């Protein structure tokens, strides 16, 4: 899941859906699977005299504990806001996180086992006892037990939450993620299902997550490495070529083959994984590459160009770490009607990524661009006609553009 992330930048509904599915898939990973037998006992699904209604209530309480932990994280990172976003934009942070994703991907592919020590897992699992209080506390510590697998997914979501600076959205997004994780436990509580034995299906699940984690590593490196940042095209042929690479990789055995088999099988799987990763990153790059617009880089040059052309100016204040800024590019600026309205404006990109640059601070104060995204519309006289400090849809932006002459 890239910064499961850039996918999250495609809008709130897509964000909720993405994190819910991500939570459910996380519940299928090896880090969560050992917890299931413990929670089955907690819900009374193995022979204890507990009604289905009570089992469901216990499951809801358990998931509520998970939700409380993750919602608290969401609110905290929303409050941290831009400070966390700036922190996450540093190559000194991006590269180690990418390395962590690669290490976890290697674990998923069977290079080594990554989990909390057994003694610590057992101690955490025994916290709280039985009943509703115990179920809630177990939910709180459940996220810690699952940390080796949930960590990368949470890092992506929390990075996005920090850029939104919305307490409600941040908290609710992490709550939805917890609900996604809780689906499996609701099913167990309701039907007292027999747990399938770990086998080839688990290998396939681990391979999928391994591939996703490699893609996540590439996304983090994309923020720190300009070559990856500029890779991609909005054209259909680019999407088709990368989709073909993914299909080829899957046919070769990226998911269904195992590294525990012979040398030829290992080679096929390795080549398949490489093809899926290359194609998957290409598809991600296609999704994140809007059709090009003619932007003037820099506030001073942009304003001067607008005055010389006697045109109003549209200033887009952005940062590399600002996912809502990318959402604007993908869903608002790329609208045919908006692109048409942009023809009578000089389009200016103002890079606010670096907090250490005194020029950036001066521009921020000049236009009151304290939060991102910020859009500023200047009239032909160079005066501020409108300032927008939130994500706007195409229709709303068109209304503002029509007001500026």
- Tell me the two tokens of residue 82: 């831009």
| Full-model pTM | 0.61
DSSP string, 151-206: HHHHHHHHHHHHHH--HHHHHHHHHHHHHHHHHHHHHHHHH-PPPPPSSHHHHHHH
- Which of 208, 214, 242 shows the shortest CA–CA distance to 22? 208
pLDDT of residue 339: 93
- Which three-class secondary structure state does DSSP give residue 316? strand
Give the separation between CA 178 and CA 33, rounded to whole angstroms.
16
pLDDT at 335 over 80: yes
Given a contact cutoff of 8 angstroms between Cβ atoms, the answer to whether 387 and 375 are in contact is: yes
- Tell me the two tokens of residue 166: 């919305």
Average pLDDT of the chain?
77
- Which of 31, 66, 37, 9 shows the shortest CA–CA distance to 180? 66
pLDDT of residue 142: 65
pLDDT of residue 153: 65
CATH number for the region 295-403 comes to 3.40.30.10
Q: What is the mean predicted confidence (pLDDT) over 319-329?
A: 77
Each residue of 213-254: pLDDT tens digit? 788 788 778 767 778 877 888 899 999 999 999 999 999 988
Beta strands in 247-309 (DSSP E): 295-297
Given a contact cutoff of 8 angstroms between Cβ atoms, the answer to whether 36 and 129 are in contact is: no
Where in the chain are all domains bearing CATH 3.40.30.10? 295-403
- Which three-class secondary structure state does DSSP give residue 349? strand
pLDDT of residue 1: 38
């Amino acid at each position: 899941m890239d910064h499961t992330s850039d996918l999250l930048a495609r809008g709130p509904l897509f964000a909720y859906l993405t994190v819910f599915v991500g939570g459910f898939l996380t519940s299928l990973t090896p880090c969560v699977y050992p917890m299931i037998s413990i929670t089955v006992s907690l819900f009374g699904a193995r022979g204890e005299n507990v009604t289905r209604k009570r089992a469901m209530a216990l499951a809801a309480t358990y998931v509520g504990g998970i939700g409380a932990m993750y919602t608290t994280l969401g609110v905290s990172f929303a409050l941290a806001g831009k400070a966390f976003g700036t922190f996450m934009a540093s190559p000194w942070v991006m590269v180690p996180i990418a390395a962590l994703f690669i290490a976890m991907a290697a674990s998923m592919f069977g290079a080594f086992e990554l989990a909390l020590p057994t003694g610590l897992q057992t101690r955490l699992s025994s916290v709280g006892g039985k009943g509703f209080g115990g179920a809630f506390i177990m939910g709180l510590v459940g996220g810690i037990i699952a940390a080796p697998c949930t960590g990368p997914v949470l890092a992506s979501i929390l990075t996005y939450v920090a850029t939104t600076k919305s307490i409600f959205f941040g908290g609710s997004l992490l709550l939805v993620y917890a609900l996604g994780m809780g689906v499996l436990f609701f099913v167990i509580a309701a039907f007292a299902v027999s747990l399938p034995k770990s086998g080839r299906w688990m290998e396939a699940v681990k391979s999928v997550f391994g591939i996703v984690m490699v893609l996540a590593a590439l996304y983090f490196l994309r923020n720190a490495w300009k070559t990856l940042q500029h890779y991609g095209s909005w054209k259909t042929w680019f999407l088709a070529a990368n989709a073909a690479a993914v299909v080829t990789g899957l046919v070769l055995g990226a998911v269904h083959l195992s590294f525990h088999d012979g040398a030829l099988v290992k080679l096929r799987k390795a080549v398949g994984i490489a093809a899926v990763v290359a194609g998957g990153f290409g598809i991600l790059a296609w999704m994140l590459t809007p059709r090009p617009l003619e932007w003037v880089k820099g506030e001073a040059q942009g304003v001067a160009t607008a005055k010389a052309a006697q045109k109003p100016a549209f200033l887009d204040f952005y940062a590399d770490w600002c996912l809502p800024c990318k959402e604007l590019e993908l869903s608002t600026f790329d609208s045919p009607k908006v692109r048409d309205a942009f023809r009578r404006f000089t389009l200016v990109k103002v890079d606010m990524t670096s907090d250490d640059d005194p020029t950036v601070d001066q521009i921020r104060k000049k236009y009151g661009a304290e939060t991102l995204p910020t859009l500023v519309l200047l009239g032909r006289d160079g005066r501020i006609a409108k300032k927008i400090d939130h994500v706007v849809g195409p229709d709303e932006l068109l209304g503002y553009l029509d007001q500026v002459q």
